[in-house]
Amino acid sequence: MLTLLKLLQDGHFHSGQAIGQALRISRSAVWKQVRRLESEFGVELNRVRGRGYQLARPIVLLGDMALAKKGLSDVYPFHIYESLGSTNTEAIRLLEKGVEPPFLILAERQTAGRGRRGRIWQSPFGENIYLSLVVRIQKGARQLEGLSLVIGLAVMQALRASGVSGVGLKWPNDVLVQGRKIAGVLLELTGDPADVCHVVVGVGVNVNMDGEGCIEQPWTSMKLELQSYIDRNCFVYELCLKLREYLVRHAESGFVALQKEWELNHLWQGCEVVLIAGAQRIDGVVLGVDHVGALRLSVNGVEQRYSGGEISLRLRDDHRA
């Protein structure tokens, strides 16, 4: 599939015969690959009799050469896949096979991408960033404190550096633009958190997606915000630089050194919210986060702290709450 897409990336029409000659396959095989691109991968093609096939809109694939040329190999070793169930799942599989961290998994699409609380993460082919970074944690559980919040900071700063304005954070790990989700973080832990363990940092960023899809909440993308097509290779490199920077700061000084920066960028700071934990609903006002990243709420005038992967936070006037 990627070979055919690379051929079509120039935006020109290519006849079935020319494609067959370039790929050394029959006209029938060309037709089958075109059908698969459209039906399985969701890639839109223009078909014109006598001229052939053309991409209906640009697709810039993630490329080993392009990313290596930018210097990504010097930041993290990386692996690119045409399609995966989940980049986090593949990262764990490679870790269990003995691949030494840190390393990076990138995919053009996910067929079983997931977010927090078991939600599906929409993962159309060739449009967004689906990334998992595996890091080793060697200083015990303290090095995990506030880690998902730190990753959110890194993603936010990468988006700002790429020109997206109005980017902020929502506890615990959503990145929003004007109340619309543009990125999310999912961390998974393997090993013993009291000793040596590994964290799989999953990051999804809406880059060139502009269709409605089946997303349950308000969302946006870099393309929609900047009104231009984004080279995902450039953004991956910028994102990985920020991830490395913030992971180093966190490892050296802990979350407490980044706590104030996170609070300054929390879009719901001081807002009235509803916290949902299972069947429990708690009304409160956001005070901030503590030194380990737990949410601080004023509940009936008394400060309470909350943390955990099954907690959901909504603005009090949000009808979905």
Q: Which among 6-20, 128-142, 181-195, 289-303 has the top mean pLDDT?
A: 289-303
Q: Taking the CA of residue 216 as centre, how many other CA atoms within 13 Å lie in the half-sphere pointing to its CB?
A: 6
pLDDT band at residue 321, thresholds of 50, 70 and 90?
very low
Pick the last residue of a domain from 55, 76, 95.
55
Do 43 and 118 belong to one domain?
no
Residue 107 lies in a domain: yes
- The SS3 call for residue 266 is strand
Residue 93 counted as an annotated binding residue: no
Whole-number mean pLDDT of the chain?
A: 91
Q: In the block, which residue shows the tokens 């009808």?
A: 319
Residue 190 counted as an annotated binding residue: no
What is the DSSP secondary structure assignment for residue 196, as one 8-state letter? Answer: S
Residue 181 counted as an annotated binding residue: yes
The DSSP H or E segment spanning 248 is: helix 232-253
pLDDT band at residue 142, thresholds of 50, 70 and 90?
confident
Q: What average pLDDT does range 179-195 have in this prediction?
A: 90
- Return the C-alpha torsion angle 94, 98, 100, 104, nearest 10: 0
Lowest mean pLDDT among 83-92, 115-124, 165-174: 115-124
Do 217 and 132 belong to one domain?
yes
Alpha helical stretches, state H, 48-97: 64-70, 72-75, 87-96
- Return the C-alpha torsion angle 95, 97, 102, 104, nearest 10: -80
Residue 18 lies in a domain: yes
Pick the last residue of a domain from 220, 242, 263.
263
Residue 129 lies in a domain: yes
Residue-level pLDDT at 115 = 52
Question: Quick one: tokens of 229?
Answer: 């097509």
Residue 111 counted as an annotated binding residue: no
Residue 11 lies in a domain: yes
The answer to whether the CB of 182 falls within 8 A of the CB of 196 is no
Domain extent, residue 289, equals 268-315
Q: Comparing C-alpha atoms, which of 171, 176, 181, 122 is closest to residue 149?
A: 171
Do 6 and 131 belong to one domain?
no
**At 136, which amino acid appears?**
R
Q: Strand 174-177 vs strand 280-289: parallel, antiparallel, or unpaired? A: unpaired
Do 138 and 241 belong to one domain?
yes
Do 181 and 216 belong to one domain?
yes
Query: Can you list the positions of beta strands (E) in the chain?
Result: 45-48, 52-55, 78-81, 103-107, 129-137, 167-170, 174-177, 180-191, 197-205, 272-277, 280-289, 295-299, 302-306, 311-315
Q: Is the dihedral angle over the CA atoms 271, 273, 277, 281 positive or is it negative?
A: positive
Residue-level pLDDT at 119 = 56
Beta carbons within 8 Å of 69's beta carbon, 6+ residues apart = none
* DSSP bridge partners of 168: 176
pTM: 0.90
Domain tally, the chain: 3
Q: What is the pLDDT of residues 206-219, one digit of tens each?
A: 999 987 555 668 99
Query: Which residues carry out catalysis?
Result: 116, 181, 314
Q: What is the pLDDT of residues 31-51, one digit of tens each?
A: 999 998 888 888 889 999 989
Q: In the block, which residue shows the tokens 């990386």?
A: 78
Residue 200 has pLDDT above 80, yes or no: yes
Residue 184 counted as an annotated binding residue: no
Beta carbons within 8 Å of 137's beta carbon, 6+ residues apart = 143, 144, 191, 193, 196, 197, 198, 199
What is the spatial distance between Cα 277 and Cα 301, in angstroms, rounded to a whole number? 20
**At 138, which amino acid appears?**
Q
Q: What is the pLDDT of residues 74-115, one digit of tens each?
A: 999 999 999 999 999 999 999 999 999 999 999 999 988 655
Do 51 and 156 belong to one domain?
no
Q: Is the dihedral angle over the CA atoms 65, 235, 107, 155 positive or is it negative?
A: positive
Residue 88 counted as an annotated binding residue: yes
Do 234 and 284 belong to one domain?
no
* CATH value at residue 283: 2.30.30.100
Residue-level pLDDT at 102 = 97
Residue 194 has pLDDT above 80, yes or no: no
